[in-house]
Structure 1
Amino acid sequence: MNNKCIINFIFLYVISFNSLVTTNNLTVTNNLKATNNLTVYDICPLYKKGPSLNIQDLVGSWMTVYTQPKPVDCFKFHIRATTELEREQYIVKYGTFNGRVNWSNCLLQVETPLGKHFLQGNGSQAGLMENIIILEENAGDYSLQNQSADIWTVFGRRGSEVLMIRDCYGDTAAAFARAPYWPTAPELSAIFHRSGIAALTHGRLLCEPQDHPTKQHIIHTEHEQHKRNC
């Protein structure tokens, strides 16, 4: 991977700022081959077969619970379904970046206070979703940000879900709760355990739910011990 940085605009997704695919010259780097030439393991080296994800379960508002390896400022984001008409318009407006983007498979749009991007994938490959971030260099001149994909998993019942997002190239992971639900530390620890993701810190303060600004939550990597500060 190229040089990376972590920004909360895309929930700790690992971004490479060194390679872009442009609509003008259609230059494609080794990490951005045409989609039909890639295997699932090219897209996600950490991919493992698992149950499908119903992507409609992702629609709604989510807020930060926990991030690693570095904590970020708490933030909310919203996921909505794209319409067939919108996807047809995106083909005309942006193109396919030399086959890298299949707009018929970009069924979700992520919206944050800092901008928006798309998720490419239908959830059938164990929740594997590619992040489609398009930058406008000049008026009508667009480029595709080169970055790694993520594995998305939803835990819990409707209205009290926790969304786990894991980067396909390393230990970067983030947990989000469906607003306004807030999980307890034992619940979150159990979800990490089920996900096969080791929490990297002991006793880290989690982001505070906005409806309880004085409450603090602590996650422990040891499943036998959980503490909570109020």
Structure 2
Amino acid sequence: MVDVWQTVIHTAKDEVPCFKILIRKVGKTERKSNKARYDTFGGNVLWENCTLEIRTTSSKVFKRKHYLQRTKYNGTTTKLVNENPDQWSLRKNLLIMRDCFNGDIVIFSRVPYQPSRKLLEDTLKIYKKNGSWTCDHKFKPITEKQ
């Protein structure tokens, strides 16, 4: 997941701006610093498990950070902890962000990878959603009729 990603398609009713996100690893020292600086939000954030940071790389988009919190199970394997409102998953070189409150989806691809229309349509079918292109307006929005 550590890489630069760009928005490709979305299902939100409101327009989603075209922007890039950077996903980077967070070291042990930085996690300790974050815990001291931000506390644990009532025990909801275990900073020692926040090993990935997501932030926008565009100055046009409000700069925010989001930390993915992992937990260990089976002794050695890690998995993402369920978080609200965002759920992140990977599928065939695509990063999918789903808003748990309204079901909106934003799909990102690694820069400079351009996914095929079929791959995007197949990904959206999993969620039974239609989407609109964000960055390249020469494509028509994906609809049921196409």
Aligned to 2:129: 198
How many aligned positions are there?
Answer: 135
Residue 185 of structure 1 contacts residue 219 of structure 1 at CA under 8 Å; is this kept in 2?
A: no
SS for the counterpart of 2:114 is coil
For each residue in 1:72-114, what CA deviation from the matched residue of structure 2 results, as whole angstroms up to 9, or x when unmatched?
A: 2211110101001110111222221221221012111112133
Matched, 1:72 2:72: no
CA contact (8 A) 1:68 1:174 kept: yes
In structure 2, C-alpha distance between the alignment counterparts of 1:196 and 1:205, rounded to whole Å: 17
Relative contact order (alpha carbons < 8 A, sep ≥ 6): 1 or 2 greater? 2
Q: Determine the structure 2 residue equivalent to 1:116.
A: 64
- Cα-to-partner distance string for 1:50-86 (whole Å, 9 max, x where unaligned): xxxxxxxx21100011122222221111010100111
- Which residue number in structure 2 is paired with residue 155 of structure 1? 91
Counterparts of 1:150 and 1:216, CA distance in 2: 29
2:64 match: secondary structure: strand
| SS of alignment partner, residue 164 of structure 1 | strand
CA deviations 1:149-194 (Å, max 9, x no partner) are 32212122xxxx111111112221111111101112211001111x
Gaps of 5+ in 1: 1-57, 131-147, 209-214, 226-230
Are the aligned partners of 2:46 and 2:69 in contact in 1 as well (CA < 8 Å)? no
**Whole-Å Cα distance in 1 between the matches of residues 108 and 4 of structure 2?**
10
Mapped pair 1:97 → 2:25: no
Letter of the 2:114 counterpart: W
Quickly say closer, same or farther: Cα 1:154–1:218, change in 2 above 3 A: farther
Write out aligned runs for 1:7-46 (5 A).
none
Structure having the higher Rg = 1
CA distance, structure 2, for counterparts of residue 110 and residue 67 of structure 1: 18
For the 8 Å contact 2:3–2:24, the answer to whether it is kept is yes
> Cα 1:176–1:183, aligned 2, differ >3 Å: closer, same or farther?
same
Partners of 1:91 and 1:128 lie apart in 2 by 18
CA RMSD of aligned residues (A): 2.3
Partner of 2:143: 221
Q: What is the identity, as a one-letter code, of the residue corresponding to 1:217?
A: F
Q: Structure 2 vs 1, CA of residues 168 and 218 (structure 1 numbering), >3 Å: closer, same or farther?
A: same
- Contact 1:87/1:106, CA 8 A, preserved across alignment: yes
Contact 1:149 1:168 in 2 (8 A): yes
The Cα of 1:205 is off from its aligned counterpart by: 4.4
Is 1:63 aligned to residue 10 of structure 2?
no
d(CA) in 1 for partners of 2:85, 2:124? 19
Gaps of 5+ in 2: 72-77
TM-score, normalization by structure 1? 0.52
**Deviation of residue 219 (structure 1)?**
4.2
